[in-house]
Structure 1
């Protein structure tokens, strides 16, 4: 009876979690779309656009270790709700400034940094809480539905943003974002973050455990734990280099379409929507199918495919296309990119959810986020200036080639066989001392 009640509660969590992410993501996407267009049209500079990305990335990178420590020490629900409330207040502050003084780049940058800081605590705590919210058998479904909700929001939000931009004030975009985050906050307040927890979720845990350790000692313990997980370490190093190189895509895509190709805001929104449709379809597929058997292998070739897609963004710069063909081409590129990105991320996320000990989840996900984003500020600054100085097409092509070379090196066959020893039987030259598979 108790197990049946827990499963029903877990089902409620899955759908409430999905709804809260859908609403929150919709507001965030509309806000991001409007701010990106505002900055690029106001300044016409890729460097200014990149600066806003840095304000989003840098605080999250710095805060992640502290967010991981907090998630392992204090109640995750309290952290999530506090962080969501902080986002509402930050956007409310920007709205007040806009109404009184008018919008300015410094105000946007500061608000973006505050939102990023709060999102770091919320994101790490939610990641660490997944196995407490749902039963193990439905982790992949929960992760896929989460991605699906983000995809649905990403389909509608750019379309709404593209239609509204230029016809309504930026204040309306801010109000939409505030309203969405407030509704998400209310939904998350109804969830039980400790439904399936194997460990206590507060600093008052019984017995000894890392939750009682001071900050520096706790971080050191998390790093020590990671040293016993070589596959997770490999994933972290891959994330470090890949996210640096994806700065070429993050800055370059918007810069090429808006500044070089002069794509209208509504059509730019359509290409962003195609990206979300790709994410949505792949998320639906993963939510109803069996768990991916070889997640690291699937992710490896998915990243190689993403590198090829990234290089293809430069094609219309080299070969002239009619305007309609240009929009269709970029919509197709983004559709494929969205599908492959979910295929890369979701299996790895499920693998880590099941393999990392509950006592260390917050710190491990925080370290993963820190490493994944550590070079992104540098990459964003570098590419922001490079796009102002060098031909955009060659920046994308060279970056894509380096990306493919990096993933083929870091996820070489010997590393893949350590994650999936059952593959060794298919290759006569397996590693001499294969490591046990990550749990």
Structure 2
């Protein structure tokens, strides 16, 4: 295929990938919103809600290293299509169960576990395929469009979920999710995942390796990349502490503050608007020179925002004031999340060799999520036993402390030698535009 045709196909990929992600994300968000609200209203327990989050995190954490082996060895296109079909069949199974015997916590937990696995396989494969789908010059644009699609879905789906919840049956939520999944399968089947790939799928070296040998090769490769090791350690502990937000936010707004579904959905939409604004920003600006430094400051800002979630629990506020307050907090939260993630994602896409992408991204995901199930369970119990404001404040302080220690100046200088030569003040001046 000549270069002009490849560029045309890459442009097609940009928009097909974006539309596919928008449709499937919309279905996923509608389902997640409805299930979260259903569990909290049915049980009133943060522990029950946290168990559903654990069912989403634990299976993907355990299976992620194996997914990396399959992604690097077999057809990426086939893995994505099979994963999406499995998602459709799982939702169909939950729909049949709901119609025949009603929706139960056991059925929800089982469905969440299966969807976690299919989502993980699809996510790792898509992440590993970006450099094969589009040309190098448009990697950041592809990442930004992908995030914009997720943001658009996150903006619309909570608001739609809030309007529909209680007005329509759970069966309709499931049907919407199924329809979105089917359309995503059709779009993904038209994409060429090896258009710009520098490594052949199922190459000879990978084909001769056993699964264990292949995973060990991924670990060896990872150990030679100091910046990746730094990112993994930060993710390992930060995601554990972020359980305070994952469990606490919904529990506080729905159970403690008794916010109605429409307003709760709107706060989730504000989070997505923040992500969308920063995605637009990153789609038109040049790449960040020191992504680890920018992300370090972003995580510190996230700690401040996480602590601020408890303010309405300690200060008397009217219902409308509380609603507006959380709109603003979640808007900034969404923006800072993108400040943390986007520069690192683009850097990883360009730094990791194509033949190792599946294994390395799966290892990063496993390490990042390894402590999250424990965090979800722990925080679920804590929110049932102690005041939420104490838990959030202490967790926020620990979050800031962790990133200050793990990304201290001496560590940053090992990753960016020029950081030490030019001085921190110079680097800060260069990166201030991102803040």
Q: TM-score range by the shorter chain?
A: over 0.9
Q: Distance in 2 between matches of 1:297 and 1:402?
A: 19
Q: Distance in 2 between matches of 1:212 and 1:116?
A: 30
Are residue 239 (structure 1) and residue 203 (structure 2) matched? no
Q: Distance in 2 between matches of 1:71 and 1:212?
A: 15
Q: Distance in 1 between matches of 2:392 and 2:178?
A: 35
Structure 1 contact 39–49 (Cα < 8 Å) conserved: yes
Deviation digits for residues 382-422 of structure 1 (CA, Å, limit 9, x no counterpart): 00000000110010000010000001111111222233222
Deviation digits for residues 363-382 of structure 1 (CA, Å, limit 9, x no counterpart): 10000000111000000000
RMSD between aligned residues: 1.3
Q: Distance in 2 between matches of 1:280 and 1:428?
A: 30
Structure 1 contact 72–211 (Cα < 8 Å) conserved: no
Q: Distance in 2 between matches of 1:143 and 1:211?
A: 30
Judge which range, 410-419 or 356-365, deviates more.
410-419
Per the alignment, residue 49 of structure 1 pairs with: 49
Per the alignment, residue 428 of structure 2 pairs with: none
Per the alignment, residue 376 of structure 2 pairs with: 380
Judge which range, 212-221 or 28-37, deviates more.
212-221
Per the alignment, residue 391 of structure 2 pairs with: 395
Q: Distance in 1 between matches of 2:415 and 2:134?
A: 25
Per the alignment, residue 433 of structure 1 pairs with: none
Structure 1 counterpart of 2:339, from 343, 348, 362 = 343
Per the alignment, residue 303 of structure 1 pairs with: 299
Q: Distance in 2 between matches of 1:145 and 1:211?
A: 34
Gaps spanning 5+ residues in structure 2: where? 426-435
Q: Distance in 1 between matches of 2:208 and 2:18?
A: 32
Deviation digits for residues 114-149 of structure 1 (CA, Å, limit 9, x no counterpart): 000111111111111111001111111111111110
Per the alignment, residue 152 of structure 1 pairs with: 152
Gaps spanning 5+ residues in structure 1: where? 430-439
Written as runs of structure 1 = structure 2, the 5 A alignment for 1:146-225 is 146-202=146-202, 205-206=203-204, 209-225=205-221
Structure 2 SS opposite 1:333: helix
Are residue 26 (structure 1) and residue 26 (structure 2) matched? yes
Deviation digits for residues 269-326 of structure 1 (CA, Å, limit 9, x no counterpart): 0100000000011001101111112111110100000000000000110101111110
Q: Distance in 2 between matches of 1:419 and 1:10?
A: 32
Q: Distance in 2 between matches of 1:337 and 1:3?
A: 41
Are residue 290 (structure 1) and residue 286 (structure 2) matched? yes
Q: Distance in 2 between matches of 1:8 and 1:255?
A: 47
Aligned residue pairs: how many?
426
Q: Distance in 1 between matches of 2:424 and 2:401?
A: 24
Structure 2 SS opposite 1:191: coil
Per the alignment, residue 416 of structure 2 pairs with: 420
